[in-house]
Structure 1
Amino acid sequence: MELGSTVSAVRSNRVLLGSEVRPAVILIKNGKIHQILSDTNFAGMLDVGDSVVMPGIVDCHVHVNEPGRTTWEGFWTATRAAAAGGVTTIVDMPLNSIPPTTTLSNFHEKLREATDKCFVDTAFWGGVIPGNEVELRPMIRAGVAGFKCFLIHSGVEEFPHVTDCDLHAAMKQLQGTGSVLLFHAEMDVQETTQETGDPSQYSTFLQSRPDIMEMEAIRIVTELCLQYQVRCHIVHLSSAKPLTLIEEARRAGAPLTVETTHHYLSLCAENIPMGATQFKCCPPIRGAANQEQLWSALKAGKIDMVVSDHSPCTPDLKKLESGDFTQAWGGISSLQFGLPLFWSSASKKGFELADVVRLLSQKTAQLCRLDNHKGSLAPGYDADLVIWDPDREFEVKETGIHHKNKLTPYLGLTLKGVVCATVLRGQLVYRDGHFCPEPLGKHLLIPQWKNQAQL
């Protein structure tokens, strides 16, 4: 079957349906799942044997950086990497592009730049920055998935962090819209006034971003969430300590969700070599004991989803020559490897394939209101499929990386779980290292919920 061709049916001995893995045939019509049948033969179907067939992954935390910083990444390279990783939908962050997605005009510019460049479907977050509250409802009408803000310096000047006053103004605009506000939940506190020690030691950087920064930020988020009853979401939780705060707020009625990332679940501070700045991200990778607590919270349903937070840059910004953690750009590239990264650890900790779908596809689709057609294998849903071998291992090599800049802390690692093929709305977009010649991804503009008239 040729890449780019339309698939009418997919058969496997291992199709994940609900929590059950069994032989089945998925019939596809007009890009949607039409029917799921018990094992049978169909002319022209794609028979993948014992490979697992699951819903495509929805990665709702990806920094594509286009327009403005395409030397860091761009839609063409990012979405090819996504397809190679079994990701069929990404949601683009409002930074680090120039301009950032903080006005209706900038959002339209982003859409123009992304046109004819996406190998997978792409939705878009807007941003909340000081003084842009009047732009929020127009951006909701235009189809953004929701908004992101920072409670600490974002790392780029064009996306300043918000004050208490900005947050209240934004919350008032978002009330009744059904939209969601995402928080980079770190705050400057007294303990972080200066970095001391050898800047090439990871511990020096780690001490400069202690858990209390996340604790204090999340305390503010929970109070706002309860006060305004606007959906709130904490991105890239690295510390397990605020989980009690989050649970208390939820019990009190806060519509609050939280994600963690593949790097917090796969990497730990004790194993980061001196000067290995490819491991730097914010919040930081913490210790092994903290990591185990994150896994426990994930298993207990206290963390809702797992994402990549793919945040690439050019190699020079990582300051590899000096190995200075304090000066290096904070961000990790992993968009292509989320599924095997997660499965390599999760499979040893008693997680099932159904948990992978829940944490990497269903919950992420729910966050950005795509869950009526993305993230599940069921009639009427988009025929977005990842076909993969959860038992096969591979080594992460530079030649096999499809995002633009190849620097990643996972180079040389052996991972479990090989993506064999990716189907997007019934079209074969990736198979065994090869891509569909033309990008077939669509822009996903999110349909509005209730109270449309008020917008």
Structure 2
Amino acid sequence: MSVPDLDLIVHAPRAIVDGVEISCTVGVHDGIVVSIDSRSSATEVVQLGPGEVLIPGLVDTHVHVNEPGRTEWEGFASATRAARAGGITTIVDMPLNSIPPTVDVDALAVKRGVAAEQASVDVGFWGGAVPGNLDQLRPLHDAGVFGFKCFLLHSGVDEFPPLSAAELEKAMIEIAAFDGLLIVHAEDAATIDAAPAPTGSAYSGFLNSRPRSAENRAIAQVIDLSRRTGCRVHILHLSSAEALPMIATAKRDGIRITVETCPHYLCFDAEHISSGATQFKCCPPIREAGNRELLWQGLADGVIDTVVTDHSPCTVDLKQLDTGDFGDAWGGIASLQISLAAVWSEARTRGFSLGDVVRWMATNTADQVGLADRGRIAVGCTADLVVFAPDASFTVDAQTLLHKNPVSAYDDRTLTGMVRRTWVRGSESERGRLLTRG
């Protein structure tokens, strides 16, 4: 079959294809990659420089946009602009922090309505599993959500309450019946209730309030229930490396479990978080340097499948930067625009390749939610493409980031790797679309 007239040709002496770096020429027609070795003409021809690498657009499956209801924290316009600037071409929005939360079909329609005209990248949606909405899970699944998020302890917002052990099991039985996916904020409520309360400006106090044993016990519970119910499960934002052996065992036993971690757990360590530096507060918390290195080993071993932002912004006042009180501050780190650079900066120093980073942040995340048409440069896939300069460095200035609020744990940190250009479906001006599962 002959190659059609092309809209875009990208000559890339360096490109990540099938996980390895090669030289290729990518041809795009009507938003789709139609060739990897094109000799045709095109409306637009781009020649990458020697310090640039063509990679697939990233797929971030853990983003809190917060609109409607808390749009002053972040909205679809600002979040998706920041994502695109950071080489992320698809996000999947979390069901909480917006009002109403996405726990029924009507709320999903509201969320889609506000996102439709604002998105700069493609947007999918998670549903929520909360007490009392068991009968809404299948309708949400049929309406196209990519799965269901639940908490096992207070979520931080009253309108998205946690599931009890009995409710969790019922939700997993229901979700397994239609082969859906449950994604879990895995921290055990009783363990945290028994821990010291997080007050004051010392980071050690906050860290002690969210012990790794809380994660370990919750993950063990999820694994046990997945074994009993057959429900597919995904562990969100893993910070406790102590849980890795049980997760590895579960995978070997055939339990359908996947695991993510986040840039902040891979970049920072508790020993270097200053007193009152509440911009570093997130839940579960950033742990010690030794724990961080074990998370990197979990990625190397394939026990951890994906790296996603858990972009969880808020207004400046909610971070309590004036008092530095970790007990009062909102927990969440905003990083959509700089996540690729943050992960690459650390990965390269540990001997990982850019292909590894693409696998964790694009290919595997796309596969997790069934978006096999993206997260890779391949014929027939969506032409979401990014020009990345892996050796270029910059210093983060929170005031200039496209996130709605200028609060960043990465402020004044020098990172390596810059996004130079981003195409969504082969266009640098194309608007984002709303996605549904399947």
Same fold (TM over 0.5): yes
Work out whether residues 15 and 54 of structure 1, in 8 Å CA contact, stay in contact via their aligned partners in 2: yes
Residue equivalent to 1:24: 24
Work out whether residues 79 and 402 of structure 2, in 8 Å CA contact, stay in contact via their aligned partners in 1: yes
The offset of 1:194, in angstroms, is 4.9
Work out whether residues 27 and 38 of structure 2, in 8 Å CA contact, stay in contact via their aligned partners in 1: no
Deviations 1:380-415 (A, max 9, x none): 100001111000000101343001011011000100
User: 2:388 matched to 1:385?
Assistant: no
Residue equivalent to 2:260: 259
The residue type equivalent to 1:150 in the other structure is F
The 3-state SS of whatever aligns with 2:255 is coil
Residue equivalent to 1:310: 311
User: 2:433 matched to 1:442?
Assistant: yes
The residue type equivalent to 1:443 in the other structure is L
The residue type equivalent to 2:358 in the other structure is V
Work out whether residues 266 and 341 of structure 1, in 8 Å CA contact, stay in contact via their aligned partners in 2: yes
Q: How many residues align?
A: 432
The residue type equivalent to 1:163 in the other structure is S
The offset of 1:191, in angstroms, is 6.4
User: Are the structure 2 counterparts of residues 261 and 244 from structure 1 closer, same or farther at C-alpha, using a change threshold of 3 Å?
Assistant: same
The offset of 1:247, in angstroms, is 1.4
Separation (CA, whole Å) in 1 of partners of 2:298 and 2:195? 32
Separation (CA, whole Å) in 1 of partners of 2:91 and 2:191? 37
Residue equivalent to 2:112: 111
Work out whether residues 7 and 46 of structure 1, in 8 Å CA contact, stay in contact via their aligned partners in 2: no
Residue equivalent to 1:131: 132
Residue equivalent to 1:360: 361
User: 2:146 matched to 1:145?
Assistant: yes
Work out whether residues 102 and 127 of structure 2, in 8 Å CA contact, stay in contact via their aligned partners in 1: yes
Residue equivalent to 1:425: 425
Among the aligned pairs, what percent are the same residue?
47
1:367-382 alignment to 2 at 5 Å? 367-371=368-372, 373-382=373-382
Separation (CA, whole Å) in 2 of partners of 1:183 and 1:39? 47
User: 2:234 matched to 1:233?
Assistant: yes
The offset of 1:196, in angstroms, is 5.8
Structure 1 segments unaligned to the other structure (5+ residues): 1-5, 429-435, 448-455
The offset of 1:165, in angstroms, is 1.8
The 3-state SS of whatever aligns with 1:152 is coil
TM normalised by structure 2 equals 0.96
The 3-state SS of whatever aligns with 2:242 is coil
Separation (CA, whole Å) in 1 of partners of 2:243 and 2:22? 39
Residue equivalent to 1:46: 46
The offset of 1:227, in angstroms, is 1.0
Deviations 1:272-303 (A, max 9, x none): 01101000000000000100111111111111
Work out whether residues 23 and 39 of structure 1, in 8 Å CA contact, stay in contact via their aligned partners in 2: no
Work out whether residues 11 and 49 of structure 1, in 8 Å CA contact, stay in contact via their aligned partners in 2: no
Shift >6 Å, 4+ stretches: 38-41
Separation (CA, whole Å) in 2 of partners of 1:172 and 1:135? 14
1:84-103 alignment to 2 at 5 Å? 84-103=85-104
The residue type equivalent to 2:98 in the other structure is S
1:196-215 alignment to 2 at 5 Å? 199-215=200-216
The offset of 1:20, in angstroms, is 2.9
The 3-state SS of whatever aligns with 1:247 is helix
Work out whether residues 197 and 327 of structure 2, in 8 Å CA contact, stay in contact via their aligned partners in 1: no
TM normalised by structure 1 equals 0.92
Work out whether residues 10 and 48 of structure 2, in 8 Å CA contact, stay in contact via their aligned partners in 1: yes
Deviations 1:47-72 (A, max 9, x none): 22221001100000000000100000
The residue type equivalent to 1:78 in the other structure is A
Work out whether residues 95 and 125 of structure 2, in 8 Å CA contact, stay in contact via their aligned partners in 1: yes
User: 2:321 matched to 1:320?
Assistant: yes
Structure 2 segments unaligned to the other structure (5+ residues): 1-5
The offset of 1:10, in angstroms, is 1.2
Residue equivalent to 1:431: none
User: Are the structure 2 counterparts of residues 311 and 7 from structure 1 closer, same or farther at C-alpha, using a change threshold of 3 Å?
Assistant: farther
Deviations 1:424-449 (A, max 9, x none): 01111xxxxxxx4xx600000112xx
The 3-state SS of whatever aligns with 1:312 is coil
Separation (CA, whole Å) in 2 of partners of 1:192 and 1:286? 19
The offset of 1:228, in angstroms, is 1.3
Residue equivalent to 1:451: none
Work out whether residues 192 and 209 of structure 1, in 8 Å CA contact, stay in contact via their aligned partners in 2: no
Separation (CA, whole Å) in 2 of partners of 1:313 and 1:156? 13
Separation (CA, whole Å) in 2 of partners of 1:162 and 1:364? 26
Separation (CA, whole Å) in 2 of partners of 1:366 and 1:136? 22
Work out whether residues 101 and 110 of structure 1, in 8 Å CA contact, stay in contact via their aligned partners in 2: yes
The residue type equivalent to 1:349 in the other structure is R
The offset of 1:115, in angstroms, is 1.2
User: Are the structure 2 counterparts of residues 326 and 39 from structure 1 closer, same or farther at C-alpha, using a change threshold of 3 Å?
Assistant: farther
Separation (CA, whole Å) in 1 of partners of 2:244 and 2:26? 39
The 3-state SS of whatever aligns with 2:226 is helix
User: Are the structure 2 counterparts of residues 416 and 392 from structure 1 closer, same or farther at C-alpha, using a change threshold of 3 Å?
Assistant: same
1:119-198 alignment to 2 at 5 Å? 119-190=120-191, 192-195=193-196
Separation (CA, whole Å) in 1 of partners of 2:66 and 2:271? 31
Separation (CA, whole Å) in 1 of partners of 2:216 and 2:399? 40
Residue equivalent to 1:61: 62
1:211-290 alignment to 2 at 5 Å? 211-290=212-291
Separation (CA, whole Å) in 2 of partners of 1:52 and 1:216? 42
The residue type equivalent to 1:18 in the other structure is D
Work out whether residues 199 and 328 of structure 2, in 8 Å CA contact, stay in contact via their aligned partners in 1: no
Bigger mean CA deviation after superposition, 114-123 or 166-175:
166-175
The offset of 1:38, in angstroms, is 6.7
Separation (CA, whole Å) in 2 of partners of 1:7 and 1:41? 9
The residue type equivalent to 1:258 in the other structure is V
Deviations 1:73-112 (A, max 9, x none): 0000000000000000000000110000001110111111
User: 2:394 matched to 1:403?
Assistant: no
Separation (CA, whole Å) in 2 of partners of 1:344 and 1:16? 17
The 3-state SS of whatever aligns with 1:183 is strand
The residue type equivalent to 1:377 in the other structure is I
Work out whether residues 198 and 326 of structure 2, in 8 Å CA contact, stay in contact via their aligned partners in 1: no
Bigger mean CA deviation after superposition, 65-74 or 196-205:
196-205
Residue equivalent to 1:74: 75
Separation (CA, whole Å) in 2 of partners of 1:185 and 1:244? 16
